[in-house]
C-alpha cells in the first residue's frame, strides 16, 4: 500500500458502485474481538449469564449477555475516559479493531473522504443515569459537563469520527434492532455518492438499573433463570429474549478503492432494503424481497439466512412464515447465533452481519444454541447444536426487526 | 489563606478530563495554552465546575478567557482571596 495508491483519484461514486467490507471489529458477550467471538460462536459457547454489572436481584429478569474482560484503559485514550459511557468505549474499541483489520491509517486518507455512520438505540445510558442521579441527589452543579453529549445516540459516531479524523459524510441511525442494517444501507448510499470509506455498524450497551427498567417496560424479556434455556428462537418453548450488550463495526469501502490499495475483502453488500410495518401488516418479507431484488439475486441463490429471532412465539411464527414464503418450507438453512449473545439492540443486526461474513469466509454455518428443534408452526431448517459444514456458501441474507415496526434486510455475497 | 497551586490544578485536570498522550503535566506548564495540553472548552468547563464546588467559590466569565494555567490560577486565587476576606 503506497501513498500514491491512496492519494490517486478515485472514480466518482456511481449509483451502482459496489460497497465491500474490508475490516471487522467485534465486542460481544461471548467474545471481545472478532477472532475470540467467532471461535466461541463455532464452539456454541454462550455469553449469557447472571447480570454482574449491577445488582439485578430485585428484578424479575436477572440474565444478560455481558461483554467479558473489557478494560477500558486498554482500548480508550485517557483523555476520552471521563467523557465516555461504556457503550462509547466499546464502540471505540470495535472501530479501532475494524480500521486496523482493514490495514488503514485514517491519517493517510484525503480529508473528508471517509465518514462514520453508526446505529444506536440507547446512547450512553449508564453515563446518563449517573448524571441524573447527581442532578436529583446533589444538584445541577454536580452534573458532568460531558453529559451534554455522552448520552446521545450520535455520540459513538461522533467520538469515532473525532478520534480517527473521519470528517466525511456521517450520521447516526436509530431503528432499534434494525439499526445495524439501516446504518449499513446509509453507509452504502454515501459510498455511492462519492465517499470512499465509511465506518459503520452498531453497538449498544444499556446494562444498568435505568436501562433495565427501560428494557423491562418494553416487554418481551424471558424470565427464565437458566441461561441455557432462557432465549430459545423458534423453539416451541420460546418465552422471550435476553438482552445483551455489544455489536460490530465495519470498514465499508468503495470496491474500486479497496482494489486499488490491495485490501482484503470479506464480502460485498449486494442488496439492502428497509420497510415499516403497516397496521396488522408485518412487512419483513417485503424487506427481504426488496433486498434480493436490489441485489439482483433470485431467492434460490441464497445459501443461508441469519434470522431476526425474536424468541417469542408469535413473532417467531411470523418470521418463519416470511422465510417460508420466500424460500419454501425448510427451503433454506436458517440460524440465529444471537442465541449465544442475547438481542443487542443496535448491535444485533451488525453482529449478525459479521457472522454472515465470517460464515462466507470459513464456509461454515454457525449454530443456533438453546433451541432443540423449531416449533411445528415454524417450518424453518434451523441449524442447531453444532455448526453445519459441507454447504457451499456464496450468498447470505440477514434479517432484522426493530421494535416499533422497523424491518431491514441485507444480501451479502462472498468473494470467490 | 487557601491558594490553588499548579500541582493541584493539574491533578484536577487529570481527574476531570484525563491526560493527553505525550503531554508531561509535571513539567513547566504554567504558560502553555490549555488547548496545547489537550484540554478543550468542555474539559475546562468540567474542571471549573469542580473547583467551584470543592472550594465553594463562584468564578465569573474571566475564567473562560484564562487560556493558560498561570492565567487560570490567577482568577481562581483572586476569588479564593475575596472569599477569605468576606
In a domain? residue A10: no
Residue A340 and residue A209 share a domain: no
Q: Does A162 touch chain B (CB under 8 A)?
A: no
Question: CB-CB: which of B15, B17, B49 is closest to A79?
Answer: B17
Q: Is A142 on the interface with B (CB under 8 A)?
A: yes
State how many domains chain A has: 2
Q: Do B21 and A78 touch (CB under 8 A)?
A: yes
Q: What domains sit in chain B, N to C, each tagged with a CATH number? A: 6-17+30-85 (1.10.1200.10)
User: Per the domain annotation, does A325 fall within a domain?
Assistant: yes
Give yes or no for A79 touching B (CB within 8 A): yes
Distance CA A285, CA A23 (A): 29
- Specify the DSSP element, H or E, that contains A348: helix A346-362
Residue A13 contacts residue A168 (beta carbons within 8 Å): no
Mean pLDDT of the A192-208 span: 97
| B-chain residues near A92 (CB < 8 A) | none
Minimum CA–CA partner of B42 in chain A = A145
* Domain-located, residue A176: yes
Residues A24 and A160 in one domain: yes
Together in a domain, A84 and A26: yes
* A345, three cell numbers: 439492540
Percent of chain A with pLDDT over 90: 95
pLDDT in tens, A308-344: 999 999 999 999 999 999 999 999 999 999 999 999 9
Q: Which residues contact A218 (CB under 8 A, 6 or more apart)?
A: A403
pTM of structure: 0.94
Interface test with B, best of A73, A75, A79 (most B CBs within 10 A): A79
Whether the Cβ atoms of residue A410 and residue A248 lie closer than 8 Å to each other: no
Percent of chain A, pLDDT > 70? Answer: 96
Does one domain contain both A183 and A276? no
The partner residue sitting opposite B46, judged by closest CB among A78, A80, A144, is A144
Q: What is the DSSP letter of A17?
A: P
Among A244, A270, A267, which residue's Cα sits nearest to residue A177? Answer: A244
For residue A137, list chain B residues with Cβ-Cβ distance below 8 A: none
Per-position pLDDT tens, chain B of length 86: 789 999 999 999 999 999 998 999 999 999 999 999 999 999 999 999 999 999 999 998 999 999 999 999 999 999 999 988 87
Same domain, yes or no, for A36 and A127? yes
Q: Same structural domain for residues A138 and A173? A: yes
Q: Do residue B17 and residue A82 have CB atoms under 8 angstroms apart?
A: yes
> What's the whole-number average pLDDT of chain A?
95
Residue B18 and residue A145: Cβ atoms within 8 Å?
Answer: no
pLDDT in tens, A354-403: 999 999 999 999 999 999 999 999 999 999 999 999 999 999 999 999 99
The secondary structure of residue B56, as a DSSP letter, is T
Tell me what pLDDT residue A406 has.
98
Does the beta-carbon distance from B46 to A146 stay under 8 Å?
yes
Minimum-distance CB partner of B38 among A79, A81, A144:
A79
Residue A388 and residue A298 share a domain? yes
What does the DSSP 8-state code read for residue A237?
Answer: T
Whether the pLDDT of residue A31 is over 60: the answer is: yes
Residue of B nearest to A84 (CA): B17
Per-residue pLDDT reduced to its tens digit, A265-297: 999 999 999 999 999 999 999 999 999 999 999
Among A139, A145, A150, most B C-beta atoms within 10 A, so best to mutate, is A145
Looking at residue A227, which CATH number applies to its domain?
Answer: 3.40.47.10
Residue span of the structural domain in which A92 resides: 17-260
In degrees and rounded to multiples of 5, residue A410 shows phi and psi of -135, 140
Residues B42, A148: C-beta atoms closer than 8 Å: yes
Grid cell digits, residue A229: 434455556
Amino acid at each position: 500500500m503506497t501513498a500514491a495508491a491512496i492519494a490517486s483519484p478515485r472514480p466518482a461514486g456511481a449509483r451502482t458502485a459496489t460497497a465491500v467490507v474490508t475490516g471487522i471489529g467485534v465486542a460481544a458477550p461471548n467474545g471481545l474481538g472478532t477472532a475470540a467471538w467467532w471461535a466461541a460462536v463455532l464452539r456454541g459457547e454462550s455469553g449469557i449469564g447472571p447480570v454482574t454489572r449491577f445488582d439485578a436481584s430485585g428484578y424479575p429478569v436477572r440474565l444478560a449477555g455481558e461483554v467479558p474482560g473489557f478494560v477500558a484503559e486498554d482500548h480508550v485514550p485517557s483523555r476520552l475516559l471521563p467523557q465516555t459511557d461504556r457503550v462509547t468505549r466499546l464502540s471505540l474499541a470495535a472501530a479501532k479493531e475494524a480500521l486496523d483489520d482493514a490495514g488503514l491509517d485514517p491519517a493517510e486518507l484525503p480529508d473528508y473522504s471517509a465518514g462514520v455512520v453508526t446505529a444506536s438505540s440507547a446512547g450512553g445510558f449508564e453515563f446518563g443515569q449517573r448524571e441524573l442521579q447527581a442532578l436529583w441527589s446533589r444538584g445541577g452543579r454536580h452534573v458532568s459537563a460531558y453529559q451534554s453529549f455522552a448520552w446521545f445516540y450520535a455520540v459513538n459516531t461522533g467520538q469515532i469520527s473525532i478520534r480517527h479524523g473521519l470528517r466525511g459524510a456521517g450520521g447516526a441511525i436509530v431503528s432499534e434492532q434494525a439499526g445495524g442494517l439501516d446504518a449499513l444501507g446509509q453507509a452504502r448510499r454515501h459510498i455511492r455518492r462519492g465517499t470512499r470509506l465509511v465506518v459503520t455498524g452498531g453497538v449498544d450497551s444499556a446494562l444498568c438499573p435505568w436501562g433495565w427498567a427501560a428494557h423491562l417496560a418494553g416487554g418481551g424479556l424471558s424470565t427464565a433463570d437458566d441461561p441455557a434455556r432462557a432465549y430459545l428462537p423458534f423453539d416451541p418453548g420460546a418465552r422471550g429474549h435476553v438482552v445483551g450488550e455489544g455489536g460490530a463495526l465495519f470498514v465499508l469501502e468503495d470496491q474500486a478503492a479497496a482494489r486499488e490499495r490491495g485490501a482484503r475483502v470479506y464480502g460485498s453488500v449486494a442488496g439492502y432494503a428497509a420497510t415499516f410495518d403497516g397496521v396488522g401488516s408485518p412487512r419483513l418479507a417485503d424487506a427481504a424481497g426488496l433486498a434480493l431484488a436490489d441485489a439482483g439475486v433470485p431467492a434460490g441463490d441464497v445459501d443461508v439466512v441469519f434470522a431476526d429471532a425474536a424468541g417469542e412465539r408469535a413473532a417467531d411464527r411470523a418470521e418463519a412464515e416470511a422465510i417460508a414464503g420466500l424460500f419454501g418450507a425448510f427451503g433454506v438453512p436458517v440460524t440465529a447465533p444471537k442465541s449465544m449473545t442475547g438481542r443487542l439492540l443496535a448491535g444485533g443486526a451488525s453482529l449478525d452481519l459479521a457472522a454472515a461474513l465470517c460464515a462466507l469466509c470459513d464456509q461454515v454455518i454457525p449454530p443456533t444454541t438453546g433451541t432443540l428443534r423449531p416449533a411445528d408452526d415454524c417450518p424453518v431448517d434451523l441449524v442447531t447444536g453444532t455448526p453445519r459444514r459441507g454447504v457451499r456458501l456464496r450468498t447470505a441474507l440477514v434479517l432484522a426487526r426493530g421494535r416499533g415496526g422497523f424491518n431491514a434486510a441485507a444480501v451479502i455475497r462472498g468473494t470467490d | 489563606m487557601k491558594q490553588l497551586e499548579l500541582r493541584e490544578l493539574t491533578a484536577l485536570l487529570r481527574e476531570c478530563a484525563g491526560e493527553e498522550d505525550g503531554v508531561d503535566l509535571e513539567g513547566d506548564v504554567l504558560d502553555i495554552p490549555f488547548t496545547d495540553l489537550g484540554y478543550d472548552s468542555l474539559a475546562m468547563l468540567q474542571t471549573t465546575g469542580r473547583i467551584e464546588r470543592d472550594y465553594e467559590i463562584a468564578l465569573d466569565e474571566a475564567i473562560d478567557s484564562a487560556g493558560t494555567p498561570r492565567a487560570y490560577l490567577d482568577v481562581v486565587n483572586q476569588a479564593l482571596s475575596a472569599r477569605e476576606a468576606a
